[in-house]
Amino acid sequence: MVTAIKLPLYMPAWTLKNSINNFGKPIVFFLALTPFLRLIWFGFHDGLTVNPIEFITRFTGTWAIVMLCITLAITPVRMTFGWNQLLKYRRMLGLFCFFYTLLHFLTWSIIDQQLDLQAIYQDFFKRTFITLGLVAFIGLIPLAITSTKGMQKRLGRNWSKLHELIYPIAIFVVLHYYLHKAGKNNFGEVRIYIAILGALLTWRLTRWLLKKYKLQT
Amino acid sequence: MKFKLPLISSSEITPQRVFEKRRELIKLAAGGALGLEMSSWFSRDALAQTKLNAPLNPAYNLMERKTSFNDVTSYNNFYEFGTDKSDPAAYASNLITSPWKVSVEGLVGKPRVFDIDDLMKLAPLEERVYRMRCVEGWSMVIPWVGYSLSHLLKLVNPLGSAKFVEFVSLADKKQMRGLGSDIIQWPYVEGLRLDEANHPLTLLTLGLYGQTLPKQSGAPVRMVIPWKYGFKSGKSIVKIKLVEKQPATSWNIAIPDEYGFYSNVNPEVDHPRWSQASERRLSDDKSIFSPKIKTLKFNGYGDQVASLYAGMDLKKFY
């Protein structure tokens, strides 16, 4: 017996470009999820070090800031190289930034602080790096909620305005990381993120200033 | 129709006892094969250690669960080998611990350079189970081997003018890859007041878990001062100097408002970046959801050491 295989009437030629167009999103999704899968794997294979909570907190924090860098890099890279198709990954990457930030926050609040609201409250007011981190996390929430296409339409021009919140958030995030590492005078890794985020924000600031200057003349 | 019972000789039947343990047996076999393959790797550090004859001193025992040898030796700070807590275990193997000399000098009547073999025989070695509280907020329970530093200090006759003791760690770029960083000042210097140094709890430490110290744990000789934060206990010590003035210590120089000279474990005095009221005890019977434990003042050694600080404002002398 022969099983009929249904073929689509139109098959696009296999080219790298077409593949990226068709499979780009799942690939990017999988890549961005890999750190999380790795964390789960570590959990089942005794890979979370002797101090698992510290490890998970730092791991999720690091990936949150990496995702933030990648998300903020989309626009400059797209405009510089004319790779407009990059835009379709921005929402997903931004949501991954929120996802790792949420894990980071939950690890700290539930596992580390045992939901001790008094301790959390005290830390928030007493320790600047906690204040900055929490404010950055809270700032990301409306951005995640309004990331859908529907919300984008509903908010219209205000949507872009709202999402410019990511710039102060990025500064808070870097300060949060910097002040944490200052406790051990250890700025090696922080410098990398300061450089990357600094460059990405400077690019935007320069464009904004140029635009403003041109409009006035 | 008749069924014919298959004939199975009793020798072919897996005994029930074996059958019930089949999974363990498979694991054991796999582990055995892996163990054989990896044994040379596992023992590369272990081989460097020798067993010590050190009976437990019951006066310094704890009824708390010990942190496993593997955890103690794979997670610690030893910035000479890198800032990550897995760096010491990964990179300390280059450390040459024999020959090793410790110079005891400064305001002493009889300055002397001790060979590591002299130190091993200077006083009877004993095992003591101490709590180790890191300033970062985690703690372990560790069976160290050594003897009170006072035995050594007695031999060099400290002069009346000696008020403090300075401990200097090895700083050799060739052996220690972390020395390239500018996080703290090298060599690593720590210090104690002379009365703190003479306190019986202050342990000149030569071993861990009944063996000589693994390289990542500060071989071949280190200090352990159990009522102070871990960084006060210098590792791989090459010089002990008696001085008149309070020594400038590495972490205190780097960030003076966060790491004081005294650095006694104190739940009432926060580190500026985190609370010191509680700690995470690292031992393998804990799941990641087990709560932190309350930090004890002087790490639980208050009955023995609190008198050293009578009348002192410990918030000021943190």
First to last CA, chain A: 78
Q: What is the pLDDT of residue A27?
A: 93
Q: Which residues of A touch B86 (CB under 8 A)?
A: 49
pTM of the model: 0.82
* Structural domain count, chain B: 1
CATH code assigned at B285: 3.90.420.10
- Hey, is the C-beta of B229 within 8 angstroms of any chain A C-beta? no
Pairwise CB contact (< 8 Å): B273 & A119: no
Does residue A17 sit within a domain?
A: no
pLDDT tens track, chain B, 318 positions: 555 555 556 556 666 665 666 555 555 555 555 554 454 444 444 456 899 999 999 999 999 999 999 999 999 999 999 999 999 999 999 899 999 999 999 999 999 999 999 999 999 999 999 999 999 999 999 999 999 999 999 999 999 999 999 999 999 999 999 999 889 999 999 999 999 999 999 999 999 999 999 999 999 999 999 999 999 999 999 999 999 999 999 999 999 989 999 999 999 998 888 889 999 999 866 567 778 899 999 999 999 999 999 999 999 889
Residue A129 lies in a domain: yes
| B119 assigned to some structural domain | yes
Note whether residue A152 is domain-resident: yes
Q: Which domain holds residue A135?
A: 24-216
* Domain contains A4: no
Residue A89 falls within a domain, yes or no? yes
Domain extent, residue B275, equals 51-309
Q: Is residue A15 part of a domain?
A: no
The C-alpha atoms of residue A118 and residue B120 are separated, in whole angstroms, by 50
Asked if B168 and B238 count as a contact pair (C-beta separation under 8 A), the reply is yes
Question: In this structure, is residue B267 part of a structural domain?
Answer: yes
Interface confidence, given as ipTM, is 0.79
**A94 pLDDT above the threshold of 90:** yes
- Phi/psi for B189 (5° steps) reads -120, 130
- Write the burial class of residue A202 (CB in 10 Å: 0-12 exposed, 13-18 middle, 19+ buried): exposed
R_g (Cα) of chain B, nearest Å = 24
Reduce the DSSP state of residue A18 to 3 states and report it.
helix
* pLDDT tens string A5-27: 666 666 667 777 777 777 889 99
Residue B43 lies in a domain: no
Could you read off the pLDDT of A129-157 as tens digits, one per residue? 999 999 999 999 999 999 999 999 999 99
The whole-number pLDDT of residue B46 equals: 46
Considering only CA atoms, give the Rg of chain A.
Answer: 21
Contacts of residue B96, defined as CB under 8 A and 6 or more positions apart, other chains included, come to: B175
Q: Which residues of A touch B (CB under 8 A)?
A: 48-54, 56, 111, 114, 119, 122-123, 126-127, 129, 179-180, 182-186, 188
Give, to the nearest 10 degrees, the angle between helix A128-145 and helix A117-126: 110
Weakest mean pLDDT among A47-61, A113-127, B41-55, B298-312: B41-55
Which pair of tokens denotes residue B264? Answer: 């006694």
pLDDT value of residue B40 = 47
CA distance B131 to B144: 10
Note whether residue A10 is domain-resident.
Answer: no
Q: How many domains does chain A have?
A: 1
Determine, yes or no, domain membership for B84.
yes
Q: Is residue A12 part of a domain?
A: no
Residues across chain B = 318
* CB within 8 Å of B142: residues ≥ 6 apart: B66, B67, B72, B129, B130, B132, B208
Question: Does residue B29 form part of some domain?
Answer: no
Residue B11 lies in a domain: no
